[in-house]
C-alpha cells in the first residue's frame, strides 16, 4: 500500500444539496455537516455529531437516498482538486463545499485510473480500518457549476466549466467492503 494523503475533513450531507425543481434547481451547501468521525458501511456513511449518528443522504437507509444503485454511498475528494477549483472559481470554493464525505490532503491530483485498484483508510497505527472500492467519478452537475461561477452564465461558459469539473475534480464514488469508523488524521492509501 502507498499512502496518498491524510483525512482532513469528514462530513455528511443531511439532505440533497440541489434545491428546487428542474430546470430551476440551484446548489446550496447548507446541508453539509462536518463530523467528528464517520462510520463507513457497504450501505453508505453515518457521521458522528455530538454523540449522535447522522445518516448521509447517500446512505441506502436515508428516506430520500441518492444511492439507489448501491454504488454512490461514499465519496472521496482531494485537497489538490480544491486548490484547482479555487483558482478557477475564487473564494466561494472552500474545502468540502462539493459535499464529499472524506477529504484528504493529498500530494497531487488523482484520476479514476489512479484509484481503480481501490483505496484503504489506515488508522494512526497504520492498520487498515476499511477498504473502499472506487466505482466512478462524481460527475459535476449544472447547479454546483452555476453556484461555483456565482452568477447566471452563457451555455458555452457553463459547458467549459462542467468539463473542467469532470474526471474526478468533484471526487469519486466508492463503496466500503466492510464497516469501519474513521477519524480526521487517518490516512488514505492506494491498494
**pLDDT tens digit sequence for 156-185:** 888 999 999 999 999 999 999 999 999 999
At residue 155, the pLDDT reads 85
Question: Which of the 8 DSSP states describes residue 69?
Answer: T
- Domain ranges across the chain: 2-190
Average pLDDT over every residue of 132-145: 94
Give the whole-number percent of the chain exceeding pLDDT 90: 87
Which residue, among 80, 86, 89, has the nearest Cα to 111 in the 3D structure?
A: 80
Which residue, among 20, 29, 26, has the nearest Cα to 152 in the 3D structure?
A: 26
Distance CA 159, CA 142 (A): 9
Residue 153 pLDDT greater than 80, yes or no: no
Distance CA 154, CA 157 (A): 5
At residue 156, the pLDDT reads 87
Q: Is the dihedral of CA 63, 143, 140, 147 positive or negative?
A: negative
Residue 141 β-bridge partners? none
Average pLDDT over every residue of 10-15: 97
Average pLDDT over every residue of 23-42: 94
Residue 90 pLDDT greater than 90, yes or no: yes
H, E, C per residue of 119-181: EEEECCCCCEEEEEEEEEECCCCHHHHHHHHCCCCCHHHHHHHHHHCCCCCCCEEEEECCCEE
Pick 2-190's CATH classification: 2.40.33.20, 2.40.30.10, 3.30.460.10, 3.90.79.10.
2.40.33.20
At residue 18, the pLDDT reads 94
Distance CA 58, CA 40 (A): 12
Residue 49 β-bridge partners? 52
Distance CA 92, CA 161 (A): 15
Amino acid at each position: 500500500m502507498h499512502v496518498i494523503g491524510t483525512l482532513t475533513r469528514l462530513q455528511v450531507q443531511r439532505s440533497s444539496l440541489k434545491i428546487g425543481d428542474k430546470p430551476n434547481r440551484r446548489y446550496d451547501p447548507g446541508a453539509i455537516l462536518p463530523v467528528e468521525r464517520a462510520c463507513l458501511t457497504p450501505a453508505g456513511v453515518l457521521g458522528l455529531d455530538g454523540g449522535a449518528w447522522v445518516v448521509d443522504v447517500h446512505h441506502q437507509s436515508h428516506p430520500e437516498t441518492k444511492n439507489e444503485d448501491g454504488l454512490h454511498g461514499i465519496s472521496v475528494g482531494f485537497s489538490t482538486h480544491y486548490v484547482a477549483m479555487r483558482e478557477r472559481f475564487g473564494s466561494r470554493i472552500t474545502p468540502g463545499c462539493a459535499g464529499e464525505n472524506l477529504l484528504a490532503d493529498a500530494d497531487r491530483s488523482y484520476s479514476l485510473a489512479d484509484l481503480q485498484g481501490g483505496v484503504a483508510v489506515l488508522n494512526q497505527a497504520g492498520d487498515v480500518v476499511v477498504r473502499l472500492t472506487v466505482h466512478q467519478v462524481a460527475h459535476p452537475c449544472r447547479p454546483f457549476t452555476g453556484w461555483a461561477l456565482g452568477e447566471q452564465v452563457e451555455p458555452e461558459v457553463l459547458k467549459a466549466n462542467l468539463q473542467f469539473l469532470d474526471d474526478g475534480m468533484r471526487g469519486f464514488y466508492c463503496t466500503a467492503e466492510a464497516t469501519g469508523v474513521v477519524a480526521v488524521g487517518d490516512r488514505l492509501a492506494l491498494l
